[in-house]
Amino acid sequence: MPASPTTQSAAGTRLNRRGRETRQRLLEIAIGCLAEGSGEPLSANRVARAAGVSWGTLKHQFGDLDGLWAAVLIELADRSGANSPEAWPQFRGSVGERLREMVDAIWAILGTPEGRAVETLRAGLPTDQAERLALFPQAAAAMARYEDAWLRAFEYSLADLPIDPAKVHQVRCLIPPAIRGINNERRLTSDADVAAALRGLVGATTAYLE
Protein backbone atom coordinates (compact mmCIF):
# COMPACT_ATOMS: atom_id res chain seq x y z
CA MET A 1 0.00 0.00 0.00
CA PRO A 2 1.57 3.38 -0.99
CA ALA A 3 2.46 5.88 1.68
CA SER A 4 0.03 8.75 2.13
CA PRO A 5 1.23 12.25 1.14
CA THR A 6 1.81 13.16 4.78
CA THR A 7 4.32 10.33 5.18
CA GLN A 8 6.25 11.00 2.00
CA SER A 9 8.98 13.44 1.13
CA ALA A 10 8.65 15.67 -1.93
CA ALA A 11 10.68 13.09 -3.84
CA GLY A 12 8.20 10.35 -2.93
CA THR A 13 10.41 8.55 -0.42
CA ARG A 14 8.88 7.31 2.81
CA LEU A 15 9.57 9.48 5.84
CA ASN A 16 10.66 7.85 9.09
CA ARG A 17 9.32 8.99 12.44
CA ARG A 18 11.87 11.78 12.75
CA GLY A 19 11.11 12.93 9.22
CA ARG A 20 7.36 13.04 9.94
CA GLU A 21 7.99 15.01 13.11
CA THR A 22 10.19 17.46 11.20
CA ARG A 23 7.49 17.87 8.55
CA GLN A 24 4.80 18.57 11.14
CA ARG A 25 7.04 21.07 12.95
CA LEU A 26 7.72 22.90 9.69
CA LEU A 27 4.00 23.07 8.97
CA GLU A 28 3.30 24.47 12.44
CA ILE A 29 6.01 27.11 12.01
CA ALA A 30 4.80 28.00 8.51
CA ILE A 31 1.26 28.46 9.82
CA GLY A 32 2.60 30.62 12.66
CA CYS A 33 4.62 32.77 10.28
CA LEU A 34 1.59 33.29 8.07
CA ALA A 35 -0.68 34.02 11.03
CA GLU A 36 1.67 36.76 12.27
CA GLY A 37 1.07 38.78 9.12
CA SER A 38 4.24 40.76 9.72
CA GLY A 39 4.34 42.10 6.18
CA GLU A 40 7.51 40.16 5.37
CA PRO A 41 7.22 38.49 1.95
CA LEU A 42 6.17 34.86 1.91
CA SER A 43 9.33 32.80 1.62
CA ALA A 44 10.51 29.30 2.34
CA ASN A 45 13.75 30.75 3.70
CA ARG A 46 11.80 32.58 6.39
CA VAL A 47 10.14 29.35 7.50
CA ALA A 48 13.44 27.43 7.42
CA ARG A 49 15.13 30.19 9.41
CA ALA A 50 12.36 30.21 12.03
CA ALA A 51 12.56 26.42 12.29
CA GLY A 52 16.35 26.40 12.54
CA VAL A 53 16.74 24.06 9.57
CA SER A 54 18.43 24.35 6.21
CA TRP A 55 16.74 25.09 2.94
CA GLY A 56 17.70 21.56 1.92
CA THR A 57 15.59 20.10 4.72
CA LEU A 58 12.57 22.10 3.68
CA LYS A 59 13.16 21.22 0.03
CA HIS A 60 13.34 17.53 0.93
CA GLN A 61 10.00 17.75 2.70
CA PHE A 62 8.01 19.97 0.34
CA GLY A 63 10.02 20.45 -2.84
CA ASP A 64 9.63 24.23 -3.11
CA LEU A 65 7.56 27.15 -1.84
CA ASP A 66 4.58 26.02 -3.88
CA GLY A 67 4.69 22.58 -2.26
CA LEU A 68 5.01 24.12 1.20
CA TRP A 69 1.98 26.38 0.84
CA ALA A 70 -0.06 23.55 -0.67
CA ALA A 71 0.82 21.35 2.33
CA VAL A 72 -0.15 24.17 4.71
CA LEU A 73 -3.57 24.51 3.06
CA ILE A 74 -4.15 20.75 3.13
CA GLU A 75 -3.22 20.70 6.83
CA LEU A 76 -5.57 23.59 7.62
CA ALA A 77 -8.44 22.04 5.67
CA ASP A 78 -7.99 18.80 7.60
CA ARG A 79 -7.97 20.67 10.91
CA SER A 80 -11.14 22.57 10.08
CA GLY A 81 -13.11 19.43 9.38
CA ALA A 82 -14.33 20.89 6.09
CA ASN A 83 -13.05 17.83 4.26
CA SER A 84 -15.02 15.43 6.48
CA PRO A 85 -18.72 15.67 5.48
CA GLU A 86 -19.50 12.69 7.68
CA ALA A 87 -18.56 14.82 10.70
CA TRP A 88 -20.65 17.86 9.73
CA PRO A 89 -23.44 18.66 12.18
CA GLN A 90 -27.11 18.21 11.39
CA PHE A 91 -28.50 21.70 10.82
CA ARG A 92 -31.88 22.64 12.24
CA GLY A 93 -33.92 25.80 12.48
CA SER A 94 -35.01 28.53 10.11
CA VAL A 95 -33.09 29.90 7.12
CA GLY A 96 -32.03 32.90 9.19
CA GLU A 97 -30.84 30.76 12.09
CA ARG A 98 -28.76 28.59 9.78
CA LEU A 99 -27.26 31.58 7.98
CA ARG A 100 -26.38 33.14 11.32
CA GLU A 101 -24.67 29.90 12.35
CA MET A 102 -22.62 29.77 9.16
CA VAL A 103 -21.70 33.47 9.29
CA ASP A 104 -20.68 33.14 12.93
CA ALA A 105 -18.56 30.09 12.09
CA ILE A 106 -16.73 31.82 9.22
CA TRP A 107 -16.24 34.95 11.33
CA ALA A 108 -14.80 32.91 14.19
CA ILE A 109 -12.40 31.10 11.86
CA LEU A 110 -11.07 34.38 10.47
CA GLY A 111 -10.04 35.36 13.99
CA THR A 112 -7.99 32.22 14.63
CA PRO A 113 -4.30 31.75 13.75
CA GLU A 114 -5.36 29.20 11.15
CA GLY A 115 -7.82 31.63 9.58
CA ARG A 116 -5.28 34.45 9.56
CA ALA A 117 -2.75 32.11 7.96
CA VAL A 118 -5.12 31.33 5.09
CA GLU A 119 -5.91 35.00 4.54
CA THR A 120 -2.23 35.95 4.54
CA LEU A 121 -1.51 33.20 2.05
CA ARG A 122 -4.43 34.25 -0.11
CA ALA A 123 -3.14 37.83 -0.16
CA GLY A 124 0.41 36.69 -0.88
CA LEU A 125 -0.39 34.60 -3.94
CA PRO A 126 -0.60 36.38 -7.32
CA THR A 127 -4.03 37.90 -7.91
CA ASP A 128 -3.94 37.14 -11.62
CA GLN A 129 -5.32 33.63 -12.04
CA ALA A 130 -3.05 32.67 -14.94
CA GLU A 131 0.03 33.86 -13.08
CA ARG A 132 -1.05 32.09 -9.89
CA LEU A 133 -1.59 28.82 -11.73
CA ALA A 134 1.75 29.14 -13.53
CA LEU A 135 3.84 30.00 -10.45
CA PHE A 136 1.95 28.15 -7.69
CA PRO A 137 -0.04 25.32 -9.30
CA GLN A 138 -0.11 23.13 -6.19
CA ALA A 139 -1.03 25.95 -3.82
CA ALA A 140 -3.68 27.29 -6.21
CA ALA A 141 -5.27 23.85 -6.44
CA ALA A 142 -5.13 23.38 -2.67
CA MET A 143 -6.69 26.83 -2.11
CA ALA A 144 -9.49 25.98 -4.54
CA ARG A 145 -10.17 22.71 -2.69
CA TYR A 146 -10.07 24.51 0.68
CA GLU A 147 -12.64 27.08 -0.47
CA ASP A 148 -14.80 24.52 -2.25
CA ALA A 149 -15.05 22.46 0.94
CA TRP A 150 -16.50 25.41 2.82
CA LEU A 151 -18.89 26.22 -0.01
CA ARG A 152 -20.12 22.62 0.01
CA ALA A 153 -20.60 22.86 3.78
CA PHE A 154 -22.71 25.99 3.26
CA GLU A 155 -24.91 24.27 0.70
CA TYR A 156 -25.20 21.26 2.99
CA SER A 157 -26.50 23.49 5.79
CA LEU A 158 -29.52 24.46 3.65
CA ALA A 159 -29.93 21.27 1.63
CA ASP A 160 -33.13 20.06 3.34
CA LEU A 161 -34.99 23.35 2.87
CA PRO A 162 -37.15 24.18 -0.18
CA ILE A 163 -34.94 26.97 -1.51
CA ASP A 164 -34.09 27.79 -5.12
CA PRO A 165 -30.64 26.20 -5.72
CA ALA A 166 -29.63 29.14 -7.92
CA LYS A 167 -30.24 31.53 -5.03
CA VAL A 168 -28.31 29.29 -2.62
CA HIS A 169 -25.39 29.30 -5.06
CA GLN A 170 -25.44 33.09 -5.30
CA VAL A 171 -25.55 33.53 -1.53
CA ARG A 172 -22.80 30.98 -0.92
CA CYS A 173 -20.59 32.93 -3.36
CA LEU A 174 -21.47 36.24 -1.66
CA ILE A 175 -21.04 35.48 2.03
CA PRO A 176 -17.29 34.62 2.24
CA PRO A 177 -16.04 37.77 0.44
CA ALA A 178 -18.61 39.88 2.29
CA ILE A 179 -17.36 38.60 5.63
CA ARG A 180 -13.74 39.17 4.56
CA GLY A 181 -14.62 42.75 3.70
CA ILE A 182 -16.14 43.28 7.14
CA ASN A 183 -13.12 41.57 8.70
CA ASN A 184 -10.78 43.95 6.89
CA GLU A 185 -12.58 46.84 8.57
CA ARG A 186 -12.38 45.25 12.02
CA ARG A 187 -9.45 47.39 13.18
CA LEU A 188 -11.03 50.61 11.90
CA THR A 189 -14.63 50.06 12.95
CA SER A 190 -16.26 49.78 16.35
CA ASP A 191 -17.36 46.39 17.62
CA ALA A 192 -20.96 47.60 17.54
CA ASP A 193 -20.73 48.55 13.87
CA VAL A 194 -19.07 45.24 13.00
CA ALA A 195 -21.83 43.34 14.79
CA ALA A 196 -24.45 45.43 12.98
CA ALA A 197 -22.81 44.69 9.63
CA LEU A 198 -22.86 40.95 10.31
CA ARG A 199 -26.51 41.12 11.36
CA GLY A 200 -27.28 43.09 8.20
CA LEU A 201 -25.55 40.46 6.07
CA VAL A 202 -27.59 37.68 7.66
CA GLY A 203 -30.81 39.68 7.41
CA ALA A 204 -30.32 40.60 3.75
CA THR A 205 -29.36 37.10 2.61
CA THR A 206 -32.19 35.56 4.65
CA ALA A 207 -34.73 37.86 3.02
CA TYR A 208 -33.37 37.01 -0.41
CA LEU A 209 -33.53 33.25 0.16
CA GLU A 210 -36.99 33.37 1.69
Contact criterion met (CB below 8 Å) for 100 and 48:
no
| CB environment 78-100: b (16+ within 10 A), e (fewer) | eebebbeeeeeeebeeebeebbb
- Whether residue 107 is predicted with pLDDT greater than 60 in this model: the reply is yes
pLDDT bin (cut points 50, 70, 90) of residue 1 is very low
Q: Are residues 9 and 96 in the same domain?
A: no
Q: Are residues 85 and 67 in the same domain?
A: no
d(CA 42, CA 39): 9
Q: In terms of residue numbers, what domain contains 21? A: 5-73
Q: Are residues 88 and 51 in the same domain?
A: no
3-state SS assignment for residue 163: coil
Q: Which of 50, 73, 96 is the last residue of a domain?
A: 73
Residues 6+ apart with CB under 8 A from 170: none
pTM assigned to the model: 0.84
Q: Are residues 89 and 162 in the same domain?
A: yes
d(CA 192, CA 63): 46
Domain tally for the chain? 2
Q: Are residues 108 and 198 in the same domain?
A: yes
Q: Are residues 107 and 19 in the same domain?
A: no
